[in-house]
Amino acid sequence: MTADKAQRAAARSKTEADEEPRPVAKGLLFLAWLVPGLGHWLLGKRVRACVFAAVVFAAFVTGVLLDGELAVPQQNSPLSWFFAFGCLGNGVLYLLRLLWANGLDGLFNASFPYGLQGGGDPVAAGFFYGKTFLYTAGLMNLLVVLDVHDIARGDKN
């Protein structure tokens, strides 16, 4: 009777130990954010990695081609930080686009992070559509990072 109880307790503690979430490397999450799809690729989810990379890249390029503007932080506008965070989800694509729009000198100006240009053309017919695509791409990549976190932690296959 006692041995049976001890056996069950041991089995229970083993199961709980198996269900313990694994620690997630911060570097993996950083890479997943920086390059869309790379996190899944490193975790061995190659098909998902390719699809996510293609979707985020396609949405971003569409947004740029439509003359959409990336959100950048603006002084006295707390909401702009919120939008900028969403766009920052694009990772290296966001950084390259800002570099393209501002140049290296403009990017690290005296008032950094303010005074940046988000690119795009406000009078273009596709300006707002472009913004939508750019924001969508950023938010999708943020969800991809969360997915990488869940997979690495063992919560998802």
Q: Which residues sit at the interface with other proteins, rule CB under 8 A? A: 47-48, 51-52, 55, 58-59, 62, 64-67, 69, 101, 117-126, 129, 132-133, 136, 140, 143-144, 147, 157
Q: Nearer Cβ to other proteins, position 9 or 143?
A: 143
Helices within the chain (DSSP H only): 2-19, 26-34, 38-42, 46-65, 78-88, 92-107, 127-153
Q: Nearer Cβ to other proteins, position 73 or 147?
A: 147
Q: How far is the CB of 15 from other proteins (least distance, A)?
A: 23
Tokens of 99: 């570099």
Task: Give the type of residue at 99.
Answer: L
Length of the chain: 157
Q: Nearer Cβ to other proteins, position 28 or 67?
A: 67
Q: How far is the CB of 64 from other proteins (least distance, A)?
A: 6
Q: How far is the CB of 130 from other proteins (least distance, A)?
A: 9
In 3-state terms, what secondary structure has residue 74? strand
At which residue do the structure tokens 């939008």 appear?
83
Q: How far is the CB of 95 from other proteins (least distance, A)?
A: 16
Q: Nearer Cβ to other proteins, position 9 or 51?
A: 51
How far, in Å, are 24, 52, 81, 126 from residue 149 at the CA level? 7, 15, 24, 35
